[in-house]
Structure 1
Amino acid sequence: MSRAMGLDLRHLRAFSAVGNELHFGRAADALHIAQPALTKIIQQLEAEVGVPLLLRTTRRVELTAAGKAFLSEIATVEGQIDRAINRARHAARGIRGELRIAYTDFAINGHLPHVLRDFASAHPDIRLDLIFMPTTLQHVALLQQSIDIGFMIGPFEHKTTRQMIFDQDDYVALLPSSHPLCAQPSLTLAQLADEPFVLGTGDNWAAFRSRLFAECRSRGFFPNIVLEASNSEGIFGLVVAGVGVTIYSSCVGNLPRLGVAVRPLRDVTNKLPVTAVWDRTNRSEVLETFLKFLRTQGRNSVPALP
């Protein structure tokens, strides 16, 4: 039978600092308290828990097995406390709630910023927390409900998700402005078959790459990838430097870049969809408010999954 413990947030913060730093001096500095005071707090904590949480020598500090388990558990508690504090502060400022929105490069460079601006203007009592996140990571985050809605490439078909097509862009070619093909007002994807390509990395750009590779395979080639970058700015920089060409979304028209020529691909008729996806089991009133607003802004609705 467990007994009531005389612990407070001070004990948890202190142990978290020591457990992560594994050094009393650095932990004390991080907490802005004296080291003897920190030592006393940890001693009180161990007395309440009833087992040693740390192994101390003159040279180092280590977590015991019990200490590792305790540190893992209080990380969740600390996160909940931090969220509670933030929500209380937001409520005091008249903020009704928070909406966690994940986005990709294509979404944030397209129509999304205008929608977020208009929503924030219409609902100043809702705080928007924007999180850059590749499509594949958004899938996981939605199921874990660590985000409320994601703007990603393509659909995410799961029994708990609902979605709508938010935007649809064309595929375009990006070339160094000095490239001979820039003399043509439009290109075909097949014309780029022998060109060196620069692309987004496989981890961050997996959803886009799979669609692009399918387009290339249908034309009898696979792109010769010479360098990869993790974000759009890196890709643009490589194109400017003449490292290679790339394929991107037509949303690139919203962010012109000196030294990069944009050419439509007249033989690629498939669109690049930016899809808004959410978990239907998420009962957030703030999410429902945003979805009602979004339905007046999105381009096309996708039928709900059974």
Structure 2
Amino acid sequence: MELRLLRYFVVVAEELHFGRAAQRLAISQPPLSVAIKQLEQELQASLFERNSKEVRMTAAGEHLLGKARQLLALSQQAAQETRDVALGTRGHLRLGFVGSSLYRGLPQALEQFQQTHPQVRVDMLEANSAEQILELQQMRLDMALVHSIQPPETIASQLIMEEPFVVCMPEHHALHASAAVDLAELRNDRLILFSSLVSPTYHQRIYEMCQAHGFAPEVRHEVRHWLSVISLVSLGQGVALVPAALERVGMPRLVFRPLLGSHPSSEMLAMWRRTPANPLVQELLTCLKQAVAEL
């Protein structure tokens, strides 16, 4: 059934007068009568009883009226929601993130985003950088927050923040009272590090930082998440080089100290597909950059 025919039918049913209904619809009466007959033929049911004095609905017409109003309301709702999605005020955003982003402005950005986009549903997936890029390529994510990693050509990226690595050590460590730590002073410590399979870029970066200071680190544990790294440090299992943002975790029995000298930084990047692009990505990016600036 054409929505146009249903709309004509509803107006005639409300007016019970073809002349007044035609005026409401801004058409002449003959095309309106033809449209109602067309609808009746399609439904194989008489919708109105007509005579020279009045128009009355049949039982079939009364049944159709409620259904027709529902269908017209649904069509209007679908049209409005489609416009809202195109404008980025409604929709669904699937967001991937690495654990450290929770301490780099992501919660604050999401709070601001939901305040300005209450009709948008955000689904979140924690995964490592390589996993998120694969999810983007396979269209299971719309946006990813990742560590330093080279994206494929089909993926756009933007640097969100960079910050120094700091030393994370147990509170009883011999260097806990130092204002800053020379990386070479950790040559005899056991290092807790990301698995090279999970984050090869970070694994290689930290290895190279140690090698630049004359030693190859003794790796005690390789884990998948930053919280696992600092949890093991708090249990006295070793030391770690972590992004400065992890100082905000507030885990007990830990001491964070800056490194002396110049070192590579820890980066967080946003990535998304170039096409098809979800308009909500740029909206969340704006909130994220503002949240990072306010940290």
Q: Secondary structure at the residue paired with 1:208?
A: helix
- 1:240 partner amino acid: S
Q: Which has the larger radius of gyration?
A: 2
Residue equivalent to 1:150 = 144
Residue equivalent to 1:114 = 108
Distance 2:290 2:193 in 1: 34
Q: What are the equivalent positions in structure 2 for 1:60-79 lying under 5 Å apart?
A: none
Residue equivalent to 1:236 = 230
Residue equivalent to 2:186 = 192
How far did 1:243 drift? Answer: 1.5
Distance 2:270 2:95 in 1: 10
Q: What are the equivalent positions in structure 2 for 1:143-182 lying under 5 Å apart?
A: 143-182=137-176
Q: Give the aligned length.
A: 208
* Contact in 2 for aligned 1:142/1:149 (Cα 8 Å): yes
How far did 1:99 drift? Answer: 0.6
* Contact in 1 for aligned 2:98/2:127 (Cα 8 Å): yes
Q: Does 1:105 align with 2:99?
A: yes
In structure 2, the gaps of 5 or more residues are 1-77
- 2:279 partner amino acid: E
1:284 to 245, 270, 278: 278
CA 238–161 in structure 1, closer or farther in 2 if over 3 Å, else same: same
How far did 1:282 drift? Answer: 2.2
- 2:184 partner amino acid: A
Residue equivalent to 2:248 = 254
How far did 1:265 drift? Answer: 0.7
1:126 to 96, 116, 120: 120
Distance 2:225 2:288 in 1: 27
How far did 1:294 drift? Answer: 4.8
* Contact in 1 for aligned 2:110/2:287 (Cα 8 Å): no
Give identity over the alignment, percent. Answer: 23
Instruction: Supply the RMSD in Å over aligned alpha carbons.
Output: 2.3
How far did 1:266 drift? Answer: 1.9
TM-score normalised by L of structure 2:
0.64
CA 168–184 in structure 1, closer or farther in 2 if over 3 Å, else same: same
How far did 1:297 drift? Answer: 5.6
Distance 1:246 1:96 in 2: 42
